[in-house]
Amino acid sequence: MDEFMQAAISEAKQGREEGGIPIGSVLIKDGKIIGKGHNKRVQDGDPVTHAEIDCLRNAGRIGNYKGTTLYSTLMPCYLCAGAVVQFGIKKVIAGESKTFPGAKDFMISHGVEVVDLNLDECENMMSEFITEKPELWNEDIGN
């Protein structure tokens, strides 16, 4: 596992420690992390503070997203995939999509390269959370 996915996993763990949903994300440009974030829906009481949105906010205005890669511990949902497409991010690397399939096909249809690593660590983190707190999961993107 590369250092960038490990950083996203660290963000997810931080979110879980804060009482939130364990999803983390980092934005990479020129081989460096320029933004990182985690799902703060619970912590901030904000339904759109998904990990990828928090990450993009924390990266700030970078002017141009050409050459960036977004890492996320979970396949991005349509909200986050829309941000990826809107900002022209051309590569997304997801930790897993078994617990939630996300909007992979939507991103691909808009020219985004999507890599699903199918990491056990990411899947186990989400599976445990969904089992422990189904009401939080189902409140947003669950069934």
Q: 3-class SS at 122?
A: helix
0.85 surpassed by pTM: yes
pLDDT by residue (tens digit) across 98-123? 999 999 999 999 999 999 999 999 99
**Which one is catalytic: 17, 52, 123, 132?**
52
| pLDDT score recorded for residue 16 | 96
Active-site residue, 113 included: no
CB contact at 8 A, 31 and 55: no
| Complete domains list, the chain, with CATH | 3-141 (3.40.140.10)
C-alpha closest to that of 15 among 88, 74, 100:
74
